[in-house]
Amino acid sequence: MKVLLPFLKLFRRQWLMMITGLLLSFITLLAGVGLLSLSGWFLSATAVAGLTVLTAQSFNFFTPAGGVRFLSIARTASRYGERLATHEATFKLLTELRVWAWQKLLPLSAANLQGLRKGDLLNRLVADIDTLDHLYLRLLIPMSASLLMIAALYLFIAWFDPSLALTLCGFLLLVLLVLPTIFYRLGKAPGQALIETKQKLRVQLLDVIQGQAELSLFAANQRYLGRIYQQQHRFFSSQLTMAKITGLSQAILILTNGFAVLLMLYVAAKGVGNAVPPGPLFAMVVFATMACLEMMMPVAGAFQHLSSTVLAAQRVSALTEQAPAVPFVTGQHLIAQTGSLDISNLHFGYQQNQPILQGVNLTLAAGEKVAILGKTGCGKSSLLNMITREWQSNSGAILLDGQPIADYSEANLRAAMSVVSQRVHLFSGTLRDNLVLALPYIANEKRSAHDDQLKQVLSQVGLGHLLIGDKPLNMWMGEGGRQLSGGEQRRIGVARALLRDAPLLLLDEPTEGLDKRTEREILSTLFAFAEHKTVLMISHRTTALNQMDACYQLIDGKLQRFHLPC
């Protein structure tokens, strides 16, 4: 249970809304128990008063009838307010949790996330964090409200008969101690299975969606869909098992409440306080016991889902508690001005005894343009990952403007370079949203402050046709930029590079998968922009090599210079 402590500490940020929800939940229970107790007493007292004409005429019908109406309205209003407060607090808590998780995730490098599939990562940031709302909605609030209600019920019944109050409230406390353990054990294995099957189903769905082109090309859709149906069946089976346990838990609680009613019928039959025979107070105590079912019912859900909540917390903590594999210094003010690079005796391998780079040496003077060629998988992208510090080299040194890149803060290192990769990610937002990412962040700046600059860059990269219309920058991109073709998406990546005034430009297969004409246009735009910048391009194609100052081949983990056709 210790794994839940960091998340419980985060709940303190919404303490006011949480306490409001708790108080409203307590008032709802109080009004519910009070309504049934008063109704039981009222009906019994009315029946007793009707036995004689004198008592019937003297009996006050209006005050208890008004009390019933008041408690009915109070219960409805407090229940509505409790739903508003608890759900508002839950949504804010989930927002806080996601922001906190992202803050913990951002410093992590590719080495930290190695072996973690995108679908699994997505599941942890979405479904697992959503599961943590059980801590507040199903555990903290119901249990706290139930304990407060037991205390209030003891004070109320003890006013008439302390021994009856002790019997009823002692039994309710015993139930709150014993049943949660039973419900937790019942729901432990199914709860964990529910989380795991949901995660596997999400991963498989994401794989099929992202790999539609390849699956269709190799006629593998049906096979992968079959796997999804199998996993979906397992997920539904887990849900069905959990539903059965929910029904069993509620049946146990109803049976327990029935036993409590029988117990109070037996104990209170001897008299309530000084009232012998018991009379209307007897009905009040019995009806109050019946009303206790409402505060006991959430106990089933609270502990039945506790195992899935703990597992979700463990999965999220496995990400958030990692120390960055590539640490960055803080408080340093080194700023790269020229983008010159000096790489000496660089060694790197993703796994031990499997070296990728074996003593790479490379020097780029300020303003120099260098190309590195090599077949797929030879380590070209790995070299760029060393420069951008997504991975840490095993040995060797990389100097940027004569200073070790480890001496730069993360913000200053990122500001020193622009990267155009073969994969351009477009977010589900407007065209403006996807471009302003490349601009320096300025607090309270209007989103339209750079519209003229954005339009100029779009025209520069050959996307002027997107500027047709009243508000072209508000064009919705859709998930992954589905509104654009592959060439247009690649040009968006080039546009982002043009918006950054960084001295070092890193090109990672920037024209992969494009036709010759589009490739020449994009490279021409990039080289015109980078006329006075330092450029390092990696590729396995020979286009535009005549514009390079030097060309190298990466063979067996080492760079070898060649002169044709440069």
Domain ranges within the chain, ordered by starting residue? 2-320, 341-439+448-562
Supply the pLDDT for residue 566. Answer: 44
CA nearest to 152, candidates 287, 283, 26: 26
Q: Are 82 and 24 in contact (CB under 8 A)?
A: yes
- pLDDT by residue for the chain (566 residues), tens only, comes to 677 777 777 777 788 888 898 899 999 999 988 898 888 888 887 887 777 777 667 777 788 888 889 999 999 999 999 889 888 888 888 888 888 888 888 888 888 887 777 777 877 888 888 888 777 777 888 888 889 999 999 998 888 888 888 999 999 999 888 888 888 888 888 888 888 888 888 888 888 887 887 888 888 888 889 999 999 999 999 989 988 988 888 899 899 999 999 998 888 887 777 765 667 888 888 888 888 888 888 877 777 777 788 888 888 888 888 888 888 888 767 888 888 999 999 898 887 778 888 888 989 999 898 888 888 778 888 888 889 888 888 888 999 998 999 888 888 888 888 888 878 888 888 888 888 888 876 655 666 677 888 888 888 888 888 877 777 788 888 777 777 877 788 888 888 888 888 899 998 887 776 777 777 878 888 888 888 889 998 887 777 777 888 888 888 888 888 775 54
Conformational region of residue 544, where left means phi above 0, alpha means psi within -120 to 50, and beta covers everything else = left
Give how far the C-alpha of residue 10 lies from the chain's centroid of Cα atoms, to the nearest Å.
Answer: 14
- Buried b / exposed e along 299-319 (16+ C-beta atoms within 10 A): bbbbbbbbbbbbbbbebbbeb
Per the structure block, which two tokens stand in for 338? 């020229």
Distance from C-alpha of 113 to C-alpha of 105, rounded to nearest angstrom: 9
Contacts of 47 (CB under 8 A, 6+ apart): none
Give the closest residue to 156 by CA, choosing from 144, 147, 143, 165. Answer: 165
SS3 at position 27: helix
d(CA 66, CA 131): 42
Provide the token pair at 136.
């507040």
Tokens 């601009």 — which residue?
439
CA 518-522-523 angle, 5° bins: 115
Order of strands, sheet of 558-562, starting from the edge strand that comes earlier in the sequence = 417-420, 504-508, 534-539, 369-373, 550-555, 558-562
Chain position carrying tokens 């903290």 = 140
- In this prediction, residue 249 carries a pLDDT of 87
Distant-in-sequence, close-in-space partners of 159: CB < 8 Å, separation ≥ 6: none
Rounded CA-CA distance 293/275 in Å is: 26
539: left (phi over 0), alpha (psi -120 to 50) or beta: beta
DSSP letter string, 495-536? HHHHH---SEEEEESTTTT--HHHHHHHHHHHHHHTTTSEEE
Residue 162, preceding peptide bond in cis (omega within 30° of 0) = no
* CA of residue 423 relative to chain centroid, distance: 24
Fold of 341-439+448-562: Rossmann fold (3.40.50)
Residue 275 is classified by DSSP as B
Q: Quick one: which of 270, 258, 256 has its CA closest to 163?
A: 270
Q: Provide the pLDDT for residue 232.
A: 92
Q: How far is CA 230 from CA 189, 200, 201, 208, in A?
A: 20, 11, 9, 14
Q: What is the pLDDT of residue 3?
A: 78
Report residue 265 CA to chain centroid gap: 50
Interacting residues of 64 by C-beta distance below 8 A, sequence separation 6+: 38, 41, 42, 45
**Enclosing H/E stretch for 341:** strand 341-348
Give whole-number Cα distances, 308 to 2, 96, 136, in Å.
15, 20, 14
How much is the CA Rg of the chain, to the nearest whole Å?
A: 34
CATH fold for domain 2-320 = ABC transporter transmembrane region fold (1.20.1560)
